[in-house]
Amino acid sequence: MTDRAPTDWRTDAMRRRIVRRYGAERRFRMFGLGAIILSAGFLAFLIVTMVMQGAAGFTETRVSLPIDFAAAELTVTPEQLRGDRGNLALAGAGLEGVVDGAAGAAFAQQGGAELLSDGAWLRVRDTLKANPGMLRGRTAIDVPVATDIDVAYKGDGTPEAEQVVAALGDRLSRGLNRDFFGNADATDPTRVGIWGALKGSLLTMFVTLILAFPIGVLSALYLEEYAPKNRWTDLIEVSINNLAAVPSIIFGLLGLAVFLGTFGLPRSAPIVGGLTLALMTMPVIVIAGRNAIKAVPPSIRDAALGIGASPVQVVFHHVLPLALPGILTGTIIGMARALGETAPLLMIGMRAFIAAPPEGLTDPATVLPVQIFLWSDEVARGFVEKTSAAIIVLLVFLLAMNGVAIYLRNRFETRW
Amino acid sequence: MTQKITAHDVNVFYGEKQAIRQVSIDIDQEDVTAFIGPSGCGKSTFLRTLNRMNDTVASARVEGDIRLDGEDIYSKDMDVVQLRARVGMVFQKPNPFPKSIYENVAYGPRIHGLASGKSEMDAIVEQSLTRAGLWAEVKDRLSDSGTALSGGQQQRLCIARAIAVDPEVILMDEPCSALDPIATARIEELIHDLRGRYAIVIVTHNMQQAARVSQKTAFFHLGELVEYGDTNDIFTNPREPRTTDYITGRYG
């Protein structure tokens, strides 16, 4: 065998190789940077569009409506206005008719009562309850306008509505739509609110969390720390992994068949939605939990066992606290997926039109993504901005959830 | 000499593979016993049978008779959790809990209910850290994380943690293999100081270390106990040719 000649590191071929290598490095970095910029751009585009369209959804257009209560002769005394009985008293006294009459008188050219939102008289009612003294005189109250005027004032209306807006001039004003945060679904877009869906989502997520988290974590702990490794546990592992990949609508059908069909639970209820989503979230938590538990170094288990800790003490004093940040991350990913889930909830009837926020776990309710889906399907123009506004609420909810998760993870994180 | 642990005809299997063959050995109460031998000879495996740490390996199977003060440690009546408190263990890589120094030491006494009250616990922690030769270095920062200590300090913390549950035997599985020479010397001094109070069994790769710290030495090879006797005899006058070969550095 002949000896190798000493390598010459200064030939042209070597130099070209170096140039090519630098080029490859530079290209790779550019591609990476390009990918990041592209995805950041898409994200920014999404957020900007949503905020621009949705911001209007949080506001309402009001018109100043002059009413002469003294002339209207409402048979109500200021004392009767207190509390819920006041609502009944004013409705019974025909306040709605008074408001319609006032609108007819003030805006005869612009369509009279048609100009106002269906909920305008409710605003008058609440104003009266706050200032009983108004009953005895003339006053002007800002009330919400009908949806076509509202849309036109915000700059996207029909030509007829645009004319009305021009005629009314500075009698129109804009303000924060408080009803949006207090109401549930409605047929009139100026009266819809997100609170019903938000509360439905909160209740549903609550059920999902208290079911899926403990069951998921305990399953993960048992499978990792206790279960013997045999064919049965392999089968369970494969099943859980498959379960995590099952399309969500299948879980909806399962929930329909089992919870509604077999157990006879109420339709559209957060408890059924929560149970269904818990089925979907649990495998995600089990998988994330097992990975987090696997990542706890075996030397910690040895150390605890070596001074006579029982297996349960090893798990709860050492393994679980160290795995908790990872488990929480997995849980939040699962919960975020559940929060955004629409399909399985359609199956169990959560797409119904529900005009009152749910009072409990068994009341009919809807959830944010389903509400968005329903509003996006509406014909009336006013729903476009409401849809975007609801999306913003959903995204803020998601961000808040992630924020809590990051906070918890940092709190439980152990420095090594 | 009282015999703390007696093992008779011990076989250990990992699945089909036999890791320990017919080992019989008596461990003295008063002495430090060293297990030496080339890598994979089974000395660590045998050490782990003495406090049943092999139970955690699903495929491991132990045959034979091992007694601690005459009690069969593999009998049904033996509580394995209490056994591991009585036979403490220090591992190859320092493995303090990611908790405070105080908590590291106090954890064992707490789960076994050895202290009734804060002051008693404080006393146990101080005594254990003192015996492990660490008290002077850490007494002002007991609430710092145990993992923030240097490697040698961590290993002494692990020894303090084992001492804190008041064991009868301490098993050490190559306790210095991850440490520098100065930290190693500290641990060896410590083993010297602890001798007599606890029966100590130490597995080591380092023959000089065995010669320095132990009174009895057992030489393992391919899962068999080749020779067992006074450390002086093993190193100066081995009976078996395989021992001679290992000690003179012909293999290992």
pLDDT digits (tens, 9 = 90+) for A351-375: 888 888 899 898 999 999 999 999 9
- The Cα A380–Cα A371 span in angstroms is 15
Residue numbers of chain A with a pLDDT score lower than 70: 1, 414-416
Using CA atoms, how far apart are residues A263 and B79, in angstroms rounded to an integer? 46
Residues of A whose CB is below 8 A from B86: 308
**For residue B66, what are the β-bridge partners?**
B7
Rg (CA), chain A: 31
What's the gap in Å between the CA of B178 and the closest CA on chain A? 14
Q: What share of chain A is helix, strand, coil (3-state, %, to 5)?
A: 70, 5, 25
Task: Round the CA-based radius of gyration of chain B to a whole number and report it.
Answer: 18
Distance (Å, whole) CA B31 – CA B29:
6
Spatial distance between the Cα atoms of A142 and A171, rounded to a whole number of angstroms? 9
CA A173 to CA A152: how far, in whole Å? 13
Which one of B54, B59, B80, B84 makes the best mutation probe of the A interface by having the most chain A beta carbons within 10 Å?
A: B84
Phi, psi (5° rounding) for residue B72? -70, 115
pLDDT in tens, A110-162: 778 888 888 888 888 888 888 887 877 888 888 898 888 888 888 878 888 88
Mutation target vs B (from A226, A307, A416; most B CBs, 10 A cutoff): A307
Q: Is B56 in Cβ contact with A301 (below 8 Å)?
A: yes
Residue holding tokens 């059908």? A253
Directed axis angle between helix A195-221 and helix A382-412, to 10°?
Answer: 30
The answer to whether the CB of B153 falls within 8 A of the CB of B134 is yes
**Bridge partners (DSSP) listed for residue A138:** A68
- Judging contacts by C-beta atoms under 8 Å, the chain A residues touching residue B93 are 299
CB distance A416–B98 less than 8 Å? yes
Coil, strand, or helix at residue A322? helix
* Closest among A350, A394, A334, A385 to A153, alpha carbons compared: A385
CB count within 10 Å of CB A113 equals 18
| 3-class DSSP state of A61 | strand
Contact A100, A112 (CB under 8 A): yes
Q: How far is CA B142 from CA A385, B122, B159, in A?
A: 60, 11, 16
Q: Chain A contacts of B51, Cβ < 8 Å?
A: 306
Domains of chain A as residue ranges with CATH: 59-176 (no CATH), 195-412 (1.10.3720.10)
Which residue of B97, B144, B173, B174 is the best one to mutate when testing the A interface, meaning the one whose CB has the most A CBs within 10 A?
B97
Q: Do A303 and B95 touch (CB under 8 A)?
A: yes
Asked if the Cβ–Cβ distance from A302 to B98 is below 8 Å, we say no
Measured distance CA(A227)–CA(A159) in Å, rounded: 71
Rounded to an integer, what distance in angstroms lies between the CA atom of residue B230 and that of residue B215?
A: 6
CB contact under 8 A, B91 and A414: no
* Cβ pair B84:A416 closer than 8 A: no
Name residue A83's amino acid. Answer: G
* Shortest CA gap B53–chain A (Å): 7
For residue B88, give both structure tokens: 């403490």
CA distance B97 to chain A (A): 6
pLDDT tens by residue, chain B, 252 residues? 688 999 999 999 998 899 999 999 999 999 999 999 988 888 999 999 999 998 888 888 999 999 999 999 999 888 999 999 999 999 999 999 999 999 999 999 999 999 888 999 999 999 999 989 899 999 999 999 999 999 999 999 999 999 999 999 999 999 998 888 988 998 999 999 999 899 999 999 888 899 999 999 999 999 999 999 999 999 998 998 989 888 888 765
Q: Are residues B56 and A305, on separate chains, in Cβ contact within 8 Å? A: yes
Beta-ladder partners of A65 = A141
Closest Cα in chain A, distance from residue B81 (Å): 5
Nearest chain A CA: its distance from B106 CA (Å): 11
The pTM of the full predicted model, rounded to 2 decimals, is 0.83
Range list of H helices, B90-202: 101-111, 118-131, 135-138, 151-164, 181-194
